[in-house]
Amino acid sequence: MRMTSLLAPTMKHPPEGWKDPGAVRLMRGGYALSWENGEWNLLPLGAIMRDNICWFFLERFLGDNLQQLDSLLATPHGLENLLRRSVQSYRDLPLRTVESCGGSLLLGGIEEEGMSLKDISHSIFSSIKECLSSLNLNCEEVQDLCERGARSRLVFPEESHHTFAQEGVICSHCGWHGTTTSESGRDQGFQGADSPVMKEVYTPDTCSIEALCAFLNIPSAQTIKTMFYMVEKGNEWQMVAVLLRGDLYISDVKLAASLGATSVRIAAEEELVRAIGQKPGFLGPVGLPPSICLVADRSVVGCRDVVIGANRPDYHLTGIVWGRDFSTERVADIVTLEAGMDCPACGEKLQKSWWSDVADLWLDQVPDEPFFYQDKEGTSRKCRLWRGRLSLDVIMTTLSRKNTFSAGIAPFDVEIIVPAMKDFEAAHLAIDLYCKTVQAGMAVLFDDRDERAGAKFADADLFGIPVRVVVGRKAAEGIVEVHFEEDTREMQAEDVPLFLASLFDDDEAEL
């Protein structure tokens, strides 16, 4: 490709509003175009590079016997329809598929009954991890929940918050990573006095935990929040009282998953008044109507000497003990995991971290009518469906934080630069070299613009093409400079195609 016919508008200054260093580099390097609303579109360089990354992973997946599909995984029920047509016996399983869809590779599979999310993600993620590590990218595996249930994730740890980064937690002691919906640690109920006396205390205008703690001069961990949720299960809505330590927050995703609900929402004031006869603010678990189901977070279990709502306006109960004054049959992990909480792996305090999502994988919800296959003994067994996604865009932006891209991933293998196109001999030699390298099967970008040398080199730095051939001062003698990695060599132009071919063969052997 000649630069004069390439659409790659480079920018001197970073675009406004973009903090991800990789995304900024792509935009400055003319790989992508940013819009004021935070969207972006790839330009030719970016599109070629994303195709290269896509193919790099596809090749690996095809090698692992995944079947490449087109527009099937992206359609609702596509995987189920495939299953209905293609799976009868254990011999047809596993059936694993992959499909390219914009900035992602969609994944999906049908497995034997006994396969767990862990088994499946282990096998798929190990291929992805190997591919990433050959690109010098390190990722971490994280387990958490999403609206559809349990999920395995691969994430890139980030140093700060930016465009694609999400907030998570990390344990600096043992290195454990998590997201807000990962399983929380050993946070326990507050441990106060041994056998406190329960008292009803007048606590006017203390509708919030902050106001209550200020009034009683106690830490928020010594209170128990009682939150009322409406929970949807099989088209029916039910009221649930959710108990948690006063310093923690409910994760709707975890709550829905623990109750097996399709959706959850905080109960409206009218609904509370109808069910309990009171507005929120002073409600607690003691003496609620039996129609309201109670569920407690693990942070409530075993608490001693805590404060709860008295179910009477302007009053709270103090000196409350789990098991003596209240308890719930249902205990689950329903709080968002945040900095300051205990590490699930080692118990040390967690710290705030950031990550960007590379891949995730989850079990597909079992349809109302499960699908069956015949096992070796002829017994009918349920198929297991899973889905996943690999984000090519996140991989591309993360790779773009490096100065140069590797051959095979970069949009071009070689960039030929002539500092002065007016130098007839140099221009002539460069055109000849361009034709020969292209004929040798290389992807070559030829900067044939009539620009200042400084501008050409500045652009070349932004493009990050792995090999740069400069046809300059010694062109009259047929000598050019080849720059790659940290190395620079002078050689006869006629030797360049062969030299580059050997360089890329070595590179491919490494990948």
Q: Which is nearer to Zn ion, 174 or 273 (CB)?
A: 174
The least distance separating Zn ion from the CB of residue 344, rounded to whole angstroms, comes to 8
Q: Which two tokens stand for residue 66?
A: 């995944």
The least distance separating Zn ion from the CB of residue 159, rounded to whole angstroms, comes to 19
Which amino acid is present at 264? V
Nearest 5 degrees, angle CA 132-CA 137-CA 139? Answer: 80
Q: Which two tokens stand for residue 426?
A: 């140099």
Taking Cα atoms as reference points, which of 227, 230, 226, 228 lies closest to residue 265? 230
CA–CA dist 491, 486 (Å, integer): 16
Element (H, E) at 448: none
Q: Which is nearer to Zn ion, 325 or 348 (CB)?
A: 348
Q: Which is nearer to Zn ion, 326 or 355 (CB)?
A: 355
For the CA atoms of 446, 451, 455, 457, what is the dihedral angle to 10 degrees?
30
Q: Which is nearer to Zn ion, 345 or 501 (CB)?
A: 345
The answer for residues whose C-beta is within 8 angstroms of residue 102's C-beta and 6 or more apart is none
Q: Which is nearer to Zn ion, 2 or 173 (CB)?
A: 173
CA–CA dist 237, 319 (Å, integer): 34
Q: Which is nearer to Zn ion, 343 or 496 (CB)?
A: 343
Q: Outline where 364-495 has alpha helix (H).
A: 392-399, 424-439, 453-463
CA–CA dist 423, 472 (Å, integer): 8
The least distance separating Zn ion from the CB of residue 128, rounded to whole angstroms, comes to 25
Q: Which two tokens stand for residue 67?
A: 């079947």
CA–CA dist 119, 356 (Å, integer): 23
The least distance separating Zn ion from the CB of residue 338, rounded to whole angstroms, comes to 15
Q: Which is nearer to Zn ion, 52 or 180 (CB)?
A: 180
Backbone angles phi, psi at 358, to 5 degrees: -95, -50
Q: Which is nearer to Zn ion, 62 or 174 (CB)?
A: 174
Q: Which two tokens stand for residue 57?
A: 């992973």
Quote the longest CA-to-CA distance of the chain.
98
Q: Which is nearer to Zn ion, 140 or 447 (CB)?
A: 140
Residues binding Zn ion (CB under 5 A): 171, 173-174, 176, 343, 345-346, 348
The least distance separating Zn ion from the CB of residue 174, rounded to whole angstroms, comes to 3
Distance of CA 152 to the CA centre of its chain: 10
Determine contact, residues 251/298, Cβ cutoff 8 Å: no
The least distance separating Zn ion from the CB of residue 167, rounded to whole angstroms, comes to 18
State the number of CA atoms in the 13 A half-sphere of 106 facing the CB. Answer: 17
The answer for residues whose C-beta is within 8 angstroms of residue 388's C-beta and 6 or more apart is 106, 107, 108, 121, 124, 359, 360, 361, 362
Bridge partners of 385? 110
CA–CA dist 169, 359 (Å, integer): 18
The least distance separating Zn ion from the CB of residue 354, rounded to whole angstroms, comes to 18
The least distance separating Zn ion from the CB of residue 347, rounded to whole angstroms, comes to 7
The least distance separating Zn ion from the CB of residue 298, rounded to whole angstroms, comes to 17
The least distance separating Zn ion from the CB of residue 345, rounded to whole angstroms, comes to 4
Radius of gyration of the chain (CA): 30
Q: Which is nearer to Zn ion, 309 or 344 (CB)?
A: 344
The least distance separating Zn ion from the CB of residue 349, rounded to whole angstroms, comes to 9
Q: Which is nearer to Zn ion, 342 or 459 (CB)?
A: 342
Taking Cα atoms as reference points, which of 388, 392, 373 lies closest to residue 96? 388
